[in-house]
Amino acid sequence: MGLREGFRELWDDMFSYRTLKVVKISDKRLAYVHKSLMALILVYAGVSMIGGHTYMLLETPGMYISTDVSDTKRMLDFNQAASTYCNKTITDYAGDPPFMDSFHDNICKNFSTSEIVSVSANSIFVGTHVKETNFQRECNTSTDLCSTLPQYDTSKNYFATNPENVTFQFKTTLDTSWFTSAPSLIYIKDNQTNTILTVDSESAVVSERYPSFSVDELLELAGVKLDDRNELVVRTDSFVPPFPLYRLTGIRLSIDWTFSNFRPMSSLQPFDYRILADVSVSSSSKGYLVNTVETVHFSGEPDDVTSSGTILEFRGVEIEFRSNGLLGKADFYTTMMALMSCFIMVSVATTVVDIIGAFIYDSFKNDKIEDDGERQHLEHMILNLETVGVPFNHDDLQVLPNVSIKEFLQLLQRDIVKLNSLALHISRDLTEAGFNRHASSKKSFSDAGTNKQVRYKCYLIGPDKSEIYLTGGPQTIGRGNGNCISKRISHKQLSILANTYNGTAILRGLHTKNMSGIAISGGAWQPISGNDEVELEDGDMIALLLDEKNQETSVEGVFVYRSESLVGKKAKSGWLDWVL
């Protein structure tokens, strides 16, 4: 294929339209493969739609947690003077100057639960270490604005006693665009994603309807303890181990709540829409200090309360809640989209079988892909079979290149007419020369009887029934004769020469823009063009204008040639005169 042919094919493809065609192929192998693939795809689509819940409208829920704080367990063993973290020789931290301060002489101190615990909608803080700094400042007069900077005493470091036994109970509320609810079952998982506890919100025991954890239990779920050492990032070479405890640096915990109201396919419960929650705890502050929570307590005189006070810097366990997962409900629009996806998947079976059929059958591609022109040709052949009995028209059968059988027959008829006229001329010439004995005897007899007088009355009958008499000399006919007024007809369309002796006439075609026609002896109309000659006899017809279009012939300006013998009439009138 050349470059020009390639561009032509691309051009044809660009301005052509392709559509699907259904081809029925009677082959059991292809039928089995197609039906099996369709069955498998339908099963897969149904399972994925029901088991995968693709018919549901999904949304990430909003979460609100109400936290109840209990220090009952903490107060049972509040004074732990013998605890490990109360030994300052173990808990002292030299720091990493100048980037991190040191913490020395860390001793235990009893703080109330309300001092070390703060609760918000999405987070909890439990203080484990307190840095206490006293300050004072003096002003000249009570009326002047005090601009003196405070004087800070040496800071003291304390560990809050038994904070890990503070207990929290979480009451979770979910919110979506279509409902507000709470989880039915809550699965508590450890750091290895193993379920260690299941909480049922419909339990008969009210206290067991919500999950409850102490700080120590939450740390255990995250796989860490307050007395583990936090390996901080060291920035200088002068660092002196050991590393500080998490109790001193603080630790950040994330409680992830993953909600769902549809079951995985493996559970075989596709229509169980109860809300489930998976709860897991993770730590995310290894190597760093947790930000402090500062409070200031003023203790100055009534006339200047801010003249002295205490700054408390708390570090401890920061707990934040995060909501994950999806909740869904059956939705019409989503279901329709899932069904459309199933229908598209079913069409894959046809595509696969088409590929297989192309390898098995050589003619599969021709049966599958059809041009519009080929279909029109087939319909044309079927129409010809139903009408004329053969699958082609006369114009479709070619005797010579680009010459149909109809055109060939027309050419043959013209040649026959020309040869007939030529034979008549030759016969007349031979007769006049005396070589044709039979015609010579007839001619001599006729000449003797009539003495070459007019024996025939020759004339033309026009379309308006008018008569044009032919005198024996050449005459032209055209527009204006017989009331023919079409401008397509020339004033000199044809030339006719009548022979009043034998009743024939010679019709000659003239060079005009349009073609004339002739019908001899009641036959079909034949065209006559310039320089063509045809001999006319009584009853032949002439058409000044002949049109051939789409296998139909139309004529205009039809004249009938008539010749009447005058010999019988003259003989009868002479006999009557003799009798009388």
pLDDT higher than 60, residue 289:
yes
pLDDT higher than 90, residue 528:
no
DSSP 94-134: --BTTTB--B-SEEEE---HHHHEEE-SSEEEEEEEEEEEE
Distances (CA, A) of 174 to 208, 258, 322, 325, 441: 19, 11, 12, 12, 132
Residue 518: which H helix or E strand, with range? strand 516-519
| Coil/strand/helix, residue 67 | strand
The amino acid at residue 517 is G
CA distance 208 to 201: 8
Split at pLDDT 50, 70, 90, the class of 299 is confident
Q: Which of 39-48, 91-100, 240-249, 251-260 has the lowest mean pLDDT?
A: 91-100
Q: Are strands 156-160 and 106-109 parallel, antiparallel or unpaired?
A: parallel
- The phi and psi torsions of 97 (rounded to 5 degrees) equal -60, 145
Q: Are strands 180-181 and 552-565 parallel, antiparallel or unpaired?
A: unpaired
What is the helix, strand, coil percentage profile of the chain, to 5?
Answer: 30, 30, 35
Tens digits of residue pLDDT in 380-401? 788 878 777 777 766 667 777 7
Tens digits of residue pLDDT in 119-136? 988 899 999 999 999 988
Split at pLDDT 50, 70, 90, the class of 433 is low
**517 DSSP β-pair partners:** 527, 543
- DSSP count for the chain of H helices, then E strands: 13, 28
CA 564 to chain centre: 83
Split at pLDDT 50, 70, 90, the class of 166 is very high
pLDDT for 359:
79
What are the structure tokens assigned to 308, written together? 């002295």
Burial pattern 465-476, b for ≥16 Cβ within 10 A else e, equals eeeeebeeeebe
Classify the phi-psi angles of 484: left when phi > 0, otherwise alpha if psi is within -120 to 50, otherwise beta. beta
Per-residue DSSP letter, 500: T
CA distance 493 to 476: 7
Distances (CA, A) of 440 to 433, 435, 502, 505: 9, 8, 14, 20
| Coil/strand/helix, residue 562 | strand
For the chain, give every domain's residue range.
Answer: 22-55+332-369, 59-138+148-330, 374-401, 443-579
Nearest to 67 by CA among 164, 194, 166: 166
pLDDT for 428:
64
| Coil/strand/helix, residue 283 | strand
Tens digits of residue pLDDT in 67-113? 999 988 888 876 655 567 787 778 888 877 777 778 888 888 888 89
Per-residue DSSP letter, 472: S
pLDDT for 56:
87
Q: Which of residues 341 and 18 earns the better pLDDT score?
A: 341
| Coil/strand/helix, residue 578 | helix
Please state, as a whole number, how many other Cβ atoms lie within 10 Å of the Cβ of residue 85: 21
Report the residue count for the chain: 580
Residue 385: which H helix or E strand, with range? helix 372-387
Contacts of 385 (CB under 8 A, 6+ apart): 391
Nearest to 113 by CA among 126, 130, 131: 126
- The phi and psi torsions of 307 (rounded to 5 degrees) equal -70, -20
Please state, as a whole number, how many other Cβ atoms lie within 10 Å of the Cβ of residue 5: 9
DSSP 152-198: EPPPEEEEESSGGG-EEEEEEEEE-SS-EE--SEEEEE-TTS-EEEE
Fold of 443-579: Tumour Suppressor Smad4 (2.60.200)
Fold of 59-138+148-330: atp-gated p2x4 ion channel fold (2.60.490)
User: What percent of the chain is predicted at pLDDT more than 90?
Assistant: 18
Whether the CB-CB separation of 176 and 275 falls below 8 Å is answered with no
Asked if residue 264 has a cis previous peptide bond (ω within 30° of 0), the answer is no
pLDDT for 374:
67
Tens digits of residue pLDDT in 25-80? 777 888 888 899 889 988 888 888 888 888 888 888 989 999 999 988 888 876 65
Nearest to 544 by CA among 510, 572, 520, 505: 510
Split at pLDDT 50, 70, 90, the class of 513 is confident
Please state, as a whole number, how many other Cβ atoms lie within 10 Å of the Cβ of residue 143: 6
CA distance 265 to 101: 55
Whether the CB-CB separation of 455 and 501 falls below 8 Å is answered with yes
